[in-house]
Amino acid sequence: MGFAHWLIVVVETFAALFILLLVILVAVIAVVWMVDRNQEANSVLRNFPVIGHFRYWFLHLGEFFRQYLYSSDREEMPFNRAQRTWVYRAAKNVDNTNAFGSSRDLRGEGVPFFVNAPFPALGEQAVEPKPVTIGPYAREPYSHSAFFNISAMSFGALSAPAVRALSHGAAKAGIWMDTGEGGLAPYHLEGGCDIVFEIGTAKYGVRTADGKLDDDKLKAICAHKQVKMVSIKLGQGAKPGMGGLLPGAKVTPEIAAIRGIAVGEDSQSPNRHTDIGNIYELLDKVAHIRDLTGKPTGFKAVFGGVEWIVELCDEIHRRGIESAPDFIIIDGSEGGTGAAPQTLMEGVGLPLHEALPAVINVLIEKGLRDRVKVICSGKCITAYDVAWAISIGADFVNSARGFMLALGCIQSLQCNRNTCPTGITTQNPKLQRGLVVTDKSERVFHYARNVMQEVGIIAHSCGVDEPRQLDRTHCRVVGDDGLSVPLIKLFPYPKLPANASAEKTAEIQ
């Protein structure tokens, strides 16, 4: 009897709770129905109270379900499943071979492929690239071998564990890491990798109280032996003509101290440097920073055209070749970001496949190609993306999202919400806990080395000794008729200056 009585009490209690919850649910639904029915801002909810909310839930959940259940391997943007899987496997250093045949449409417009040599050399398939020297007129020129490096990503946009993992992995792979515009954090230095320090339009980390360049702060940062170059950020591929935005939710006391901004407040950097308004001021600023720090100095830009680069080159010749920027980072309009208006992200600036050959051709035509090294970035995450850029003429290729994928990014598109589920682009300690630095730094290392190794395999198949010997004769691109055209035909090399040597002509062409 005791057990039966106890059972009856439990059942009655649960029944009462169920009825209570049901009453509350009905009351909530009734309130929502009345609010929806009488509001005037949304016609769907006004006509379909309560159930209209499911539309927004499904719309939100759709971006997550598509990549797992509905999209094919080659459908998604910005990176499809096949691309992401390649990066994941390269980062884990597991077998990255496929069976049966490629799922890539080799007849699709814009698809690049490489011209294999009939009799490639015997022996090693991947050869270590030779070092390239940047900044011969700087007090501390920088010689660097690796042609694949980490693009600009700021601490603040990225979490501390993500920056730490990138730093350790970069050091092990022998590649550089660009700080992005958010200043130099101790996490950048932690792993011992080479650093490219970026000065953004807000001059975070090297700013005075009124937002101008603080020479003493810049000298102190560049006193670190790991800081090898300084990059002046004129623009970013995903948002040309607009400064960066760091939401206040991400501005912790630590990030605020590093950047020199207020805690917890949105930080919007200017759309351009207030002290750089033309090519003359740009060259003046390059010279000032190079003289001040002793480091090779260049700039990063998005290109809507190359007319201003023509003017820049002409001014360099008037001032002397030592006045040239030591490098130009060409950021394609397909570049990524933590937050940008869709209009700018999708409709402004030239994509890399158009901007890269255009800028390089101007440098060749003006006789400055040797003096100014070219670095590019913009959706280059696989070996054939990188090999294409080198074939066009890039000295180095940077990647940001490729290394984010190596860290474990699942393309959840949460970068601007501080809710990144993998701990990469969030300042939430609970979410950051999921990113284990020791594991992810190994993945960064393996990803970088495997990309460079496979670019070496492509170069070997094309019959050249090392990747930087690839040129526009080694790559073809599929046109709108399904037939491929050599890069050399799409983007012919310009005529060299009359005073160019025979050796230089042979080297470039």
Of 272 and 135, which is predicted with more confidence?
135
Q: Is the pLDDT of residue 4 over 80?
A: no
What pLDDT is attached to residue 451? Answer: 95
What pLDDT is attached to residue 341? Answer: 67
- From the list 411, 240, 448, 452, the residue with the least C-alpha distance to 334 is 240
Q: Tell me if residue 426 falls in helix, strand or coil.
A: coil
What pLDDT is attached to residue 387? Answer: 95
- 184 with 286: CB under 8 angstroms? no
- 199 with 293: CB under 8 angstroms? no
Mean pLDDT over residues 339-346, rounded?
A: 66
What pLDDT is attached to residue 67? Answer: 58
What pLDDT is attached to residue 101? Answer: 59
Indicate the pLDDT class of residue 330, thresholds 50, 70 and 90. very high
Q: Is the pLDDT of residue 374 over 80?
A: yes
- From the list 292, 90, 257, the residue with the least C-alpha distance to 182 is 257
- Which helix H or strand E contains 279, and what residues bound it? helix 279-293
Q: Tell me if residue 213 falls in helix, strand or coil.
A: strand
Q: How far apart are the first and last CA of the chain?
A: 98
Asked if omega into 341 is within 30° of 0 (cis), the reply is no
The Cα–Cα gap between 396 and 375 comes to 5
Q: Tell me if residue 298 falls in helix, strand or coil.
A: strand
What pLDDT is attached to residue 148? Answer: 97
Q: pLDDT, tens digit, for every residue of 388-421?
A: 999 999 999 999 989 988 998 877 777 767 778 7
User: Where do runs of H (alpha helix) occur along 105-210?
Assistant: 160-173, 186-190
What pLDDT is attached to residue 58? Answer: 62
Indicate the pLDDT class of residue 129, thresholds 50, 70 and 90. confident
Q: Which residues sit opposite 150 in a β-bridge? A: 177, 399
The Cα–Cα gap between 475 and 407 comes to 30
Mean pLDDT of the chain: 85
Of 252 and 75, which is predicted with more confidence?
252
- From the list 195, 187, 193, 143, the residue with the least C-alpha distance to 161 is 187
What pLDDT is attached to residue 125? Answer: 64
Indicate the pLDDT class of residue 505, thresholds 50, 70 and 90. very low
Q: How far is the CA of 452 from the CAs of 85, 181, 258, 404, in angstroms?
A: 17, 27, 33, 17
Domains assigned to the chain: 2-85 (no CATH), 132-482 (3.20.20.70)
What pLDDT is attached to residue 502? Answer: 45
- From the list 408, 411, 469, 460, the residue with the least C-alpha distance to 439 is 408
Indicate the pLDDT class of residue 504, thresholds 50, 70 and 90. very low
Indicate the pLDDT class of residue 506, thresholds 50, 70 and 90. very low
Mean pLDDT over residues 224-243, rounded?
A: 85
Q: Which residues sit opposite 484 in a β-bridge? A: 478
